Amino acid sequence: MKRLLFYGICLILFLSFYSIAYGIDNSRDSDNDGLSDNDEIYIYYTNPDYYDTDVDGYDDKWEIESGYSPRHANGRKMINVDSDGDGLNDKWEIAIGTDLLKSDTDGDDYNDGQEVNSGFDPLKNNLAKSKKLIKVDLAKQNLTYSFDGHILESFPISSGVPRLPTPKGNFKILDKVLAKNYGGAGYYYPNTKWNLHFTTINYRYYIHGAYWHNKFGQPMSHGCVNVSYENMEKLYDWTNVETDVEIK
């Protein structure tokens, strides 16, 4: 009986050393950059044995957390890199959980970018629709948009000033308008890009790009939701007619 116990303990010790030595442990981080070997190999496609995959002086983890691509030097943002050319940028692939280097993650003959653009689930080989949601928080002056609950982007906006408030409630995108002229008493903003029409209550309200101020984070508008051009182009391209909008 004692001998059996001894062999049992030996076996447990052997298996734990084996798993540590041969990387069965999922938390193993060979290059000590704060990203596990597992995540580097299967999610980020970075070098698990060297902390700075693109050799630009910034470590992989810092680049990922700051929105830069750890695989491409020269300060390229992950949102502007599409490693597998499937129409879905690296940042959103990681957020959604699709494969960075495989254009059709679920193997249904529609590539990840096509599926996300048209609102289908790129992780399931069926016709399941995915939920696109744009949330505007007026108190925080912030907009967040998500795909099936995965946050893609979050940034400051400018809503309506107190005498011309942005309407609160649940809406849907009714129309996408590439360029519009906005004007009224004392202002005229021609050729304003990327306009998402969301309500006809009393007045037509839009989420749209704004090039005439840079005060995002504080109310500035006549009731629409102003977004910087840098953020608005991506949001416009991603949004579909019918996408849900929640304003609180």
Distance CA 26, CA 117 (A): 33
CB of 41 to Ca ion, least distance (A): 10
Using only C-alpha atoms, the chain has a radius of gyration, in whole angstroms, of: 24
CB of 16 to Ca ion, least distance (A): 21
Q: CA triplet 211, 212, 218: central angle to 5 degrees?
A: 95
Asked whether 194 and 173 are in contact (CB, 8 A), the reply is: no
CB of 56 to Ca ion, least distance (A): 4
Cross-strand pairs, 144:
135, 154
Paired sense of beta strands 205-210 and 187-199, if any: antiparallel
Asked whether 142 and 134 are in contact (CB, 8 A), the reply is: no
Give the amino acid at 228.
S
**Given the complex with Ca ion, which of 89 and 158 has the nearer CB atom?**
89
Q: Which residues bind Ca ion (CB under 5 A)?
A: 29, 31, 33, 35, 52, 54, 56, 58, 82, 84, 86, 88, 104, 106, 108, 110
**Given the complex with Ca ion, which of 137 and 148 has the nearer CB atom?**
148
CB of 134 to Ca ion, least distance (A): 22
Asked whether 179 and 192 are in contact (CB, 8 A), the reply is: yes
Q: Specify the DSSP class assigned to residue 68.
A: B
**Given the complex with Ca ion, which of 100 and 224 has the nearer CB atom?**
100
**Given the complex with Ca ion, which of 52 and 235 has the nearer CB atom?**
52
CB of 153 to Ca ion, least distance (A): 16
**Given the complex with Ca ion, which of 59 and 145 has the nearer CB atom?**
59
